[in-house]
């Protein structure tokens, strides 16, 4: 079994989010995929096998299978491009069908995924109160222009927008209580955001359920944010997410939305081989 290690959403030769990538003739057993993911130790490892015109794809964190992972999809797209050439690849996930497009540029391989259909809803008051307590925040720290929501585009994320960049930089939480809360609420990440301008966000994503304190680049959360912004009235267009800066892994995610609620969201970025 060949395991490739690729950082997705990289900024040149820096940063990005590492993923393990395994491309084989058939998918290994669930137990074997879980074992490999635990051994690789990244937040996710993606497994792919060709099935006619589709690629069967599964994502595993060290602790458990996850339904969708953006950065691992970008890493997979670039790996497929390297092996089979630039183009669009249709992916059958455990719960949805998506696609990823691979392109070779002068700077190396880049990929763009199109997420599963997006939805969002206001965050329940009790969950908002508990999350603020876990992060040591109060309602005064929140950006009223983007109220707390749950958002989904293949996986469910809690989104909290802050009005101060320094507050975002100081993100902290106790791991075990946050892990228990995320498992109870079915959250893949908790996305803390600072809106730098209309088309630029700075993000930090707590990822206790993945076995790590923080994710340096989270494509699934980026897609969920795109869907939420459309639900809140944003029209068609693109925006950028800067992530990983406060943990020394600068990453860039480029998000494009159709402006139609419920559509999939396109999330793209560059990759570098580790």
Using one digit for the tens of pLDDT, what is the confidence trace for 55-114?
A: 999 999 888 898 899 999 999 999 999 999 999 999 999 988 999 999 999 888 999 999
| Per-residue model confidence (pLDDT) at position 1 | 84
Give mean pLDDT, residues 128-144.
Answer: 97
Average pLDDT, the chain: 95
Of the listed 4, 32, 44, 101, which one is catalytic?
A: 44
What is the domain class of 4-109 according to CATH? alpha beta
| Per-residue model confidence (pLDDT) at position 270 | 95
Taking the C-alpha atoms of residue 216 and residue 149, their distance in angstroms, rounded to an integer, is 21
Taking the C-alpha atoms of residue 36 and residue 231, their distance in angstroms, rounded to an integer, is 38
Give mean pLDDT, residues 47-51.
Answer: 97
pTM for this structure?
A: 0.93
Taking the C-alpha atoms of residue 256 and residue 85, their distance in angstroms, rounded to an integer, is 24
pLDDT > 90: what percent of the chain?
90
Does the annotation mark 32 as catalytic?
no
**125 near 142, Cβ under 8 Å?**
no
Query: Can you tell me whether residue 135 is helix, strand or coil?
Result: helix
Q: Is the pLDDT of residue 148 over 90?
A: yes
CATH code for the domain defined by 119-273: 3.10.310.10
Taking the C-alpha atoms of residue 203 and residue 242, their distance in angstroms, rounded to an integer, is 6
Give mean pLDDT, residues 129-153.
Answer: 97
Give mean pLDDT, residues 178-192.
Answer: 96
Name the pairing type of β-strands 54-60 and 87-92: parallel
Which residues in the chain are classed under CATH 3.10.310.10? 4-109, 119-273
């Amino acid at each position: 079994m060949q395991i490739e290690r690729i950082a997705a959403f990289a900024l040149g030769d820096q940063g990005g989010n590492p993923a393990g990538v395994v491309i084989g003739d058939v998918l290994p057993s669930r137990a074997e995929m879980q074992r490999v993911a635990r051994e690789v130790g990244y937040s996710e490892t993606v497994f792919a096998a060709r099935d006619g015109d589709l690629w069967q794809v599964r994502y595993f964190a060290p602790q458990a299978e996850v339904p969708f992972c953006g950065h691992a999809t970008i890493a997979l797209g670039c790996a497929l491009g390297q092996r089979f050439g630039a183009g669009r690849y249709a992916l059958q996930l455990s719960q949805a069908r998506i696609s990823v497009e691979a392109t070779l540029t002068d700077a190396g391989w880049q990929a763009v995924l199109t997420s599963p259909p997006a939805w969002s809803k206001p965050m329940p008051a009790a969950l908002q109160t508990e999350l603020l307590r876990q992060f040591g925040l109060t309602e005064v720290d929140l950006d009223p222009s983007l109220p707390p929501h749950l958002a989904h585009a293949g996986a469910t994320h809690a989104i909290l927008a802050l009005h101060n960049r320094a507050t975002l930089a100081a993100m902290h939480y106790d791991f075990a209580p946050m892990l228990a809360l995320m498992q109870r609420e079915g959250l893949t990440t908790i996305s803390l955001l600072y809106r730098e301008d209309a088309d630029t966000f700075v993000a930090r994503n707590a990822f206790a359920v993945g076995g790590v304190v923080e994710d340096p680049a989270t494509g699934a959360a980026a897609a969920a944010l795109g869907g939420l912004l459309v639900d809140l009235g944003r029209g068609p267009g693109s925006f950028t997410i800067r992530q990983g800066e406060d943990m020394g892994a600068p990453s860039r995610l480029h998000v494009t939305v159709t402006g139609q609620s419920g559509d999939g969201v396109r999330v793209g970025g560059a990759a570098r081989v580790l």
